[in-house]
A and B are shown apart, each in its own frame.
Chain A
Amino acid sequence: MEDREKLNRLRWRCTRRAMLEMDLLLGEFLDRIFPTLTPGQADAFVTLADMEDLELWPLVTGSRECSDLVQAEVLALLRDVRVK
């Protein structure tokens, strides 16, 4: 799959989610932060985006700990994306 196709698939999966909260948060992250990630962090974000909203949400809020170090880095960046 080409990079454009992969990015489009990721965009769909970030902005057509069950909850508006996650559409807003992941969509904003994809536009603003994703292009600045290292390849390892980008892979970690794809893994996180594949999770279900109510699985990912506690990781974003920090109410559940993430044992994967790279994913934890990405989550810290995601947590800082405050949608107003």
Chain B
Amino acid sequence: MSKLTIPVRKFDAVIVGAGGSGLRAAIQLSEAGLKTAVLSKVFPTRSHTVAAQGGVSASLGNSEEDHWHWHMYDTVKGSDWLGDQDAIEYMCRKAPEVVVELEHFGMPFDRTDEGKIYQRPFGGHMSNFGEKPVRRACAAADRTGHAMLHALYQRNVRANTQFFVEWMALDLIRDDSGQVLGVIALEMETGEVVAFHAKATIFATGGAGRIFYSSTNAFINTGDGLGMAARAGIPLEDMEFWQFHPTGVAGAGVLITEGVRGEGGILRNSANERFMERYAPNAKDLASRDVVSRAMVTEINEGRGCGPNKDFVLLDITHLDPATIMKRLPGIREISIQFAGIDPIKAPIPVVPTCHYQMGGVPTNYKGQVVAPDGTPVRGFYAAGEVACASVHGANRLGTNSLLDLLVFGKASGDSVIEDVQSGAIGLKELPENFADFTMARLKRLNTQTGGADVNETRLELQRTMQKHCGVFRFKDMLVDGVAKIVEIEKAVARTEIKDKSQVWNTARVEALELDNLIEVAKATMVSAEARKESRGAHVRDDAPDTAANPNGRDDVNWHKHTLWQREGNGLSYKPVIMTPLSVESIALKTRSY
């Protein structure tokens, strides 16, 4: 291969993504004196973490008795026993520490009358190993993610973290030994392609919710980290598991936080029935997200949906004191007015289950180190947040554990980098001679493509295919067809054409490069989902029904294992779920019911 030269910048660590996990990791590194670069497609406080409205969970016990072990139990149960119990124990034990730390960074949490952090109930949060709901979610009104991001950003400004804003990372740099040596990135303002050569690379790029047509995710969530990892030969774990949020505004996809139900919101069908009482007699409207989503779709499928097409249900808060709505849920009222044309003080909000969160991702251990299938760390490579699969969410994430994941594993990945740099386990290795060839070839192909596919049309085709063939309910034949279709779409993605060939602010090029990432995630999701012949958590198959042998369609004998999808040949392999926690007894497999 020819030697292509591009400018090289050297750092101790490069972090890709400036949402909650990237900023939390950056604080660790910058405060430890490591020269740290943070790359982001947007200004940090415009990251999608802002959209997390509901809260961050921690067993502080400020309102009533709580314990990290109960939180751990809820998380394992929520994950439908697919979560790794070492990582889950680590996260739940660390939760009070990272939340209090965030408070010290200036996070304006809501307060109780005594001045403690206010905690509210949330779906799936229970005391005493699943006995009754407990108040565990810490929030800043319905702007928790926004407030968190600002607190973390300010702390980074203080620590002199170096930000590269409106840069898109394109590919990982790996050498022949597999060690990760940084990333190649594109500056949008100039079109310049630069290598960020570093001892450590942390991916904090968020999820890829835009693979679905109906999604609560902002347009930015194109799975860039997943695409880069897949192209670099890193497998993606458990990509068949996508959480559909029960309450997206019908039509627009815009999210109505679960906190609405925490404050007393009730789901009703066309007969005005509180139908969750039938599906989850104890937790009712506060049952886990997949349980609520499935119940809603069942109501719609059985003809009890609302509206002229009977294709949504209603989220009712008209019985709440308007002052409570204005105080605790002001943003939700505004969203409902703008995107549904309804004031929820006066009338219920039309809602449907909508793609919301990616449980799978780049495989890591609980220290935030990316791991090979045998569990050994990939030297120089770390990941945290939605891009990563630790795996704490397993087959289904518990509400408010996403912000907790950002804090705990953002910090853990930063600490691992510090330890690995200080121990000499990783250093600034020389770049291979041809390190830029692959990326430059991708860019050249895009610049010279003629008679190719339109980027927007191809992306829409991808999103519609994922929605139709791999949505909240999955059917064997649809999945088989879906695999064939997505492989066809991949061929179109490989020959996308852009008319604009300019260097400066060429957004068409950036969108084509985002599509290169979306297709990797779509393939991983469809292929993994087709292969997993059971229902578990958010992965619900029509041909894996609820039976006495396999309650809820879950088949532990054959499928209690993590999927690993490899880009090369669309290959699949599997690895065991870690059932041994760090210090407590294993939480044994049992049927998940609420």
State the A residues within 8 Å of B (CB): 1-2, 4-6, 8-9, 11-13, 15-25, 27, 52-54, 57-58, 60-61, 63, 82-84
Contacts and interface: CB of A to CB of B under 8 A. Distances in A.
Given A5-B505, A83-B252, A21 B339 contact: yes
Interface stretch (B74-82, B211-219, B563-571): B211-219
Contacts of B338: 21, 25, 60-61, 82-83
Given A5-B505, A57-B334, A82-B338, 6 more contacts: A1-B504, A13-B42, A17-B220, A24-B252, A54-B146, A54-B331
B480 interface: no
B431 interface: no
B45 interface: yes
Q: Identify the 5 closest CB pairs spanning chains A and B, nearest first.
A: A18-B50, A8-B505, A61-B334, A5-B505, A23-B219
Contacts of A61: 334, 337-338
Contacts of B219: 15-17, 20, 23, 27
A5 B339 contact: no
B45 A20 contact: no
B507 A8 contact: yes
B505 A9 contact: yes
A18 B48 CA distance: 4
Contacts, number: 100
B143 A54 contact: yes
A53 B50 contact: yes
B255 interface: yes
A16 B220 contact: yes
Interface size class of B (residues with CB under 8 A): 35 or more
A58 to B, nearest CB: 8
B254 A20 contact: yes
A16 B514 CA distance: 12
A18 B45 contact: yes
A52 B50 CA distance: 10
A82 B254 CA distance: 13
B365 interface: no
B46 A82 contact: no
Given A21-B335, A61-B334, A16 B46 contact: yes
A19 B218 contact: yes
Contacts of B49: 18
Contacts of B502: 4-5
Interface in B462-516: 502, 504-507, 510
A55 B363 CA distance: 36
Contacts of B303: none
Contact of B42 (A17, A82, A84): A17
B251 A23 contact: no
Nearest to B504: A5
A83 B253 CA distance: 10
A71 B574 CA distance: 56
A24 B218 CA distance: 9
Given A12-B507, A18-B51, A57-B331, A82 B255 contact: no
Given A57-B331, A61-B334, A21 B45 contact: no
Among A1, A8, A58, the most chain B Cβ lie within 10 Å of the Cβ of A8
A53 B46 contact: yes
B49 to A, nearest CB: 8
A82 B341 contact: yes
B504 A12 contact: no
A46 B370 CA distance: 41
